[in-house]
Amino acid sequence: MANFKCVGLVGRPDHSGVVDSLTRLLAFLEEQGVTVVLDAVTAELITNSGVVVCSRADLSKQCDLVIVVGGDGSMLNVAKYVAVDQVPVIGINRGKLGFLTDVLPEDIEATISDVLNGKFSIENRFLLDVVVRSNGKETALGSALNDVVLHPGKAAQMIEFELFVDGKFVYSQESDGLIVATPTGSTAYALSAGGPIMHPDLNAVVLVPMYPHSLNSRPIVIDGDSEIRLVVAAKETLQPQLSCDGDVLYTATASDEFLVTKNAIPLQLIHPPQYSFYQACRSKLGWGSRLAKPDV
């Protein structure tokens, strides 16, 4: 039996369905004798004076399990806080695709009951760390579960940069930017840009050019333990931006360098017993189901 005695709840604001699911979760967990902790934003969504409230950054320091109610974006936001403490997370899907939040709202009680009784699987999903090297100084920018993206920012213009992998020069490129995606992120922005779908168990990273000027520039899959270095062209007119999971963290200047490496501590993502990555792809991407067997 799983030892989940204290469970943290995180909900996406401004979504009526989230409030309904949070209310059901809270009532169910209290019936099971589980201590519930809400992050400060989630606590504003429901009325329950007896629940412990803390900051999102401190949530995993108090809980054995975190349940995210929302979409994949909500899970991405929580991941950077809880991964370091090795606290597992599971998602109730109140978003659109739901590759990371795969529990249906109508299955809340049944699925969470299974989880509390140890009936689940855990996937380790690695994150990417980004450091900027500018004027001789290195500064950590943040982490990403899906992708690190170098892009033009607000201006619709091509940018120029050089790509190095493990110190070896790969290419110089003029394009709208580059997506550096984990297997988790391969079904997100990278997929829209023409990148491959990668199984979550792979220790790999895909580099996907965004509208490259050269037609022979294609996505490259590399080892997940590689060091990726992006060098911005020495042009004062270019000021591309660096994003982690959609959040802009830095605006570059000429000759800035970005170092992207795998974080040593993965996110522990819980799935229901019947979970299948391929089934998720069939459901979310509209893949075909099995052909009916002919009568014998």
Catalytic residues: 72
Q: Output the six-digit token pair for 25.
A: 């979760």
C-alpha distances out from residue 202 to 21, 87, 270, Å: 33, 22, 17
Residue 236 tokens, joined:
């004062």
Chain centroid offset of residue 271 CA: 15
Other CB atoms within 10 A of residue 40 CB: 12
Q: What residues contact 59, with CB distance under 8 A and at least 6 apart? A: 8, 10, 37, 39, 66, 78, 81, 82
> 31: part of which helix (H) or strand (E)?
helix 16-31
Distance CA 172, CA 98 (A): 35
237 φ, ψ to 5°? -80, -15
Whole-angstrom distance, CA of residue 255 vs CA of residue 135: 9
